[in-house]
Amino acid sequence: MGKHEGSDESAPADAVDSTQDGHDQDGHDHDSHDNDGHSTETLTDESGSAQTGADGYPHEEQAVSTISEVLGAPKFWVLPVLLVVVIMSFMAALYMGAIADPERNLHDFPIALANQDNGGEVPNADGGTDKQNYGDQIAKGIIDEAAKSGIAVHKTDRTTALNELNTGKVYGVVIISPNFTNRAVALGQSAVLQAKPEKLPIDIYINRGSGTFASAITTQFSERVSTQVNKQVGDQLTQSVSEQLAKANVPFSGAAQLALSQPVDVRTVEPNPLPEGSGNGLSAFYYTLLLILAGFTGAMMVSIVVDAALGQTPIEFGPFYQLRLRLPISRWGTLAAKWTIMLLIAFIQSALYVGVCTAVGTSLPNAFVLWTYSVLVIFAVGVSAASAMAVFGNPGLILNLVFFVILGLPSSGGTVPLEASPRLFAWIASFEPMHLVYLGIRSILYFDADWDAGLGRAVIQTIVGLIVGGLLGWVGTKYYDHKGWHRFPGGMRLSPRMAKIFDGGSGSLPTITTPAPQHVAGVAGASVRKREASTGTHVGAHEREPDDSGSGSG
């Protein structure tokens, strides 16, 4: 085992060393130091044969034996296998379940309908006229038929409908033109007079800024509306004209019947096309993903580097392995340092995202607003992710993965709208950050940063998430510090039952729960000596902790 840099301590600061009176936990004899000051440890088997080389490391035979023993202990491999297969299967169920059958899962898909028809006098079979409104009849038919396929069509005026479309509240708008009834009557009369009829217009507006898949669903809806309306209006006009021609003893020509069978022209219109560089409506989703990953993975990387620099975890590059002496810093202090670094990263990375996306040709209107909100998102996600790792330890990594990525992607609404996924995902999206961030980015990129297009909700809930994540980390680490549960070996004594649960050993394998008190005292003593060496000051004996031997000497 190697020496600490800048210290004469023979044991690494976080190594498990439960040796007392010249024996290890299994009763094996060991040496303390070689002539060069390096720690050497000679393990002996039951027959007393040495199992280590001159450098103090085990021979290949012992390594193979140890691996076999470890793999033979189910406690060693069952948990990682279960973790991987359960989490990956859970991810597969969510991801594939969200996209498996959008048509069958379609529910509450919002579309607005504006009927501008005022009605008119329609000829009847008696030769007179009746007051009718073809627009109302068509609207009722569209609403009733759409409900069968999970599309929620609601009636409103034209101005409100277009405003809802331009703020992402609806995926499409149906506009029935003014004087629709009168024009339908005129079309029938032109057929009677053998003139070429002019089709009746119905416009269906879409906005690809609401999502590529959502626009595709609206386009399919438009095609179904065309078939339905042409049959409904065509049958009415054909019957009316047929009765009029029969009374006048005029033949109903095939050309006239054909014209009246398709009297309506349903047009799909995009009033506000997306600019070039918008990825056909996908750029908002991918930008959202960039922000979440910057906060989530950024917090992980910062945690690894900071913990290594503080001597709380090893520094490892390829074959290089070193554990620095632990610096005297609390859990709360460590977390606050990580938050500070994440804030700096948020400012820099947000600017780099804007620059890189601009360089590759991505359309980024409202760039300053985009940068500002990006800073907020990266910092909020980073604070929350770092807090989870600080409070829950290694399980915090899994919790972050599940919360920010596994649950986030299928419930974001960026690829498949939530209304085309099982209802479970709409519930997940109500608290998942990725969906909220997507709404904010979509508003900035496609809806001119309109506060009502989702940006307002996104900003408010992102701030709430930042506060909740910050409180989790602050309260959790402060509580641990208050209880004296410090981040070094022996910093927390486990009860016998808990120690058995967390014990990674089996049989003769070494325990990983807590080291001997002498080792813990040695860590504290080494920290004092290093502080003396770096500052040139002397720490009094009353301030020292005893070293591994319990003597308290340097």
Write the DSSP assignment of 470-529 as a string of letters: HHHHHHHHHHHHHHT--SSTTSSPPPHHHHHHH----TTSPP-S---HHHHHHHHHHHHH
Residue 117: inside a domain, yes or no?
A: yes
- Asked if residue 466 and residue 357 are part of one domain, the reply reads yes
Asked if 446 and 421 count as a contact pair (C-beta separation under 8 A), the reply is no
- Asked if residue 126 and residue 7 are part of one domain, the reply reads no
Measured distance CA(322)–CA(97) in Å, rounded: 45
- Asked if residue 202 and residue 180 are part of one domain, the reply reads yes
Residue 206: inside a domain, yes or no?
A: yes
Asked if 472 and 391 count as a contact pair (C-beta separation under 8 A), the reply is yes
Residue 308: inside a domain, yes or no?
A: yes
- Asked if residue 476 and residue 418 are part of one domain, the reply reads yes
Measured distance CA(146)–CA(139) in Å, rounded: 10
- pLDDT of 43 reads 43
Of the residues 483, 499, 530, which one is the last residue of a structural domain? 483
Residue 75: inside a domain, yes or no?
A: no
Tokens encoding 312: 């709380």
- Asked if residue 400 and residue 252 are part of one domain, the reply reads no
User: For residue 396, what are the domain limits?
Assistant: 282-483
- Asked if residue 312 and residue 200 are part of one domain, the reply reads no
- Asked if residue 251 and residue 113 are part of one domain, the reply reads yes
Long-range Cβ pairs for the range 285-290 (8 Å, 24+): 285/412, 285/414, 285/415, 285/438, 287/353, 287/357, 287/362, 287/441, 287/445, 288/412, 288/414, 288/434, 288/437, 288/438, 288/441, 289/409, 289/414, 289/434, 290/353
- Asked if residue 147 and residue 247 are part of one domain, the reply reads yes
Residue 82: inside a domain, yes or no?
A: no
Half-sphere exposure of 482 (CA within 13 A, CB side): 6
172 forms beta bridges with 206
Residue 96: inside a domain, yes or no?
A: no
Longest dimension (CA), the chain: 125
Residue 4: inside a domain, yes or no?
A: yes
20 forms beta bridges with 23
Measured distance CA(316)–CA(365) in Å, rounded: 43
Query: Going residue by residue through the chain (554 aa), what tens digit of pLDDT does each one get?
Result: 444 443 333 333 344 343 334 344 444 444 444 444 444 444 444 444 445 555 555 566 776 777 777 777 777 788 889 999 999 999 999 999 999 999 899 999 999 999 999 888 877 766 667 788 889 999 999 999 999 999 999 999 999 999 999 999 999 999 998 988 888 888 777 666 556 667 889 999 999 999 889 999 999 999 999 999 999 888 888 777 777 767 766 666 666 777 778 888 999 999 889 999 999 899 999 999 999 999 999 999 999 999 999 988 888 888 888 888 888 889 999 999 999 999 999 999 999 999 999 999 999 999 999 999 999 999 999 999 999 999 999 999 999 999 999 999 999 999 999 999 999 999 999 999 999 999 999 999 999 999 999 999 999 999 999 999 999 999 999 999 988 888 877 666 767 776 666 654 444 444 444 444 554 455 445 545 555 555 555 544 444 443 433 333 33
- Asked if residue 458 and residue 385 are part of one domain, the reply reads yes
- Asked if residue 291 and residue 264 are part of one domain, the reply reads no
Question: At 457, which amino acid appears?
Answer: R
The SS3 assignment for 196 reads coil
Asked if 273 and 208 count as a contact pair (C-beta separation under 8 A), the reply is yes
Check which CATH number belongs to the domain holding 118 and give it: 3.40.1710.10
- Asked if residue 290 and residue 264 are part of one domain, the reply reads no
Of the residues 224, 243, 269, which one is the last residue of a structural domain? 269
- pLDDT of 67 reads 77
Of the residues 269, 291, 323, which one is the last residue of a structural domain? 269
- Asked if residue 127 and residue 16 are part of one domain, the reply reads no
Residue 74: inside a domain, yes or no?
A: no
- How many structural domains are present in the chain? 3
**Residues, the chain:** 554
